[in-house]
């Protein structure tokens, strides 16, 4: 039987990226999502957790990355929260602009938007960044 909601709290290290992706895939598979959706969810979770660990919590292992996965009537809903300083997503340069094409970083948000049906970023009321993503069924 599939669960409706799952919560995960991970430390701020790169290994957490793999762990989060594994748990997200397991939850989404149990919730009946197809392989295309699983691939998209895997990619988006990896990117968002990598951002939270590296750019949000700055690899400070005393700070957690908190995730929720939820199987709702809308689809597969994911939240990822870090405890960093936060940022304004509209200030992130578009990596597909010709002037940014050869930059080494800055494509994670583009991938999250490309692979999920909805993705939004906000500053959490109690600090840190909150990312909400949806993959429709």
Partner 1 sequence: MAELNITERQAGDITILDMSGKVTIGEGSIALRTTIRRLLGEGKKNILLNLGSVGYVDSSGIGELVSSFTAVNKESGSLKLLNLTQKIQDLLAITKLLTVFDVYDSESEALSSYS
**Shortest Å, Cβ 72 to partner 1:** 26
Q: Is 43 in the site for partner 1 (CB under 8 A)?
A: yes
What is the three-class DSSP state of 22? helix
Binding mask 70-99 for partner 1 (x = CB under 8 A): -------------------------xx---
Interface with partner 1 (CB under 8 A), residue from 20, 24, 41, 46: 46
| Single residue of 8, 10, 41, 50 touching partner 1 by CB under 8 A | 50
Smallest separation (angstroms) from partner 1 to the CB of 40: 11
User: Interface with partner 1 includes 111 (CB under 8 A)?
Assistant: yes
Q: Tell me the angle at which helices 35-51 and 108-115 cross, rounded to the nearest 10 degrees.
A: 150
Nearest-Å Rg of the Cα atoms of the chain is: 14
Element (H, E) at 77: strand 75-81
Our finding on whether 35 is near partner 1 (CB under 8 A) is no
Torsion of CA 136, 15, 105, 131, to 10 degrees: 40
The smaller minimum CB distance to partner 1, of residues 26 and 103, is found at 103
**Alpha helices for the chain (secondary structure H):** 15-30, 35-51, 108-115
Asked whether position 110 contacts partner 1 by CB under 8 A, the answer is yes
């Amino acid at each position: 039987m599939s669960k409706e909601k799952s919560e995960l709290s991970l430390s701020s290290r790169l290994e957490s990226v793999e762990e989060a992706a594994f748990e997200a895939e397991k939850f989404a598979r149990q919730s009946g999502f197809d392989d295309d959706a699983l691939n998209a969810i895997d990619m988006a979770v990896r990117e968002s957790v990598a951002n939270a660990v590296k750019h949000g919590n700055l690899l400070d292992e005393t700070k957690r990355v908190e995730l929720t996965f939820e199987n709702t009537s809308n689809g597969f809903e994911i939240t990822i929260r870090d405890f960093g300083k936060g940022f304004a997503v509209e200030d992130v340069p578009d990596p597909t602009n010709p002037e940014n094409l050869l930059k080494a970083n800055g494509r994670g948000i583009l991938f999250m938007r490309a692979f999920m049906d909805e993705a939004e970023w906000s500053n959490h009321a109690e600090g840190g960044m909150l990312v909400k993503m949806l993959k429709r069924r």
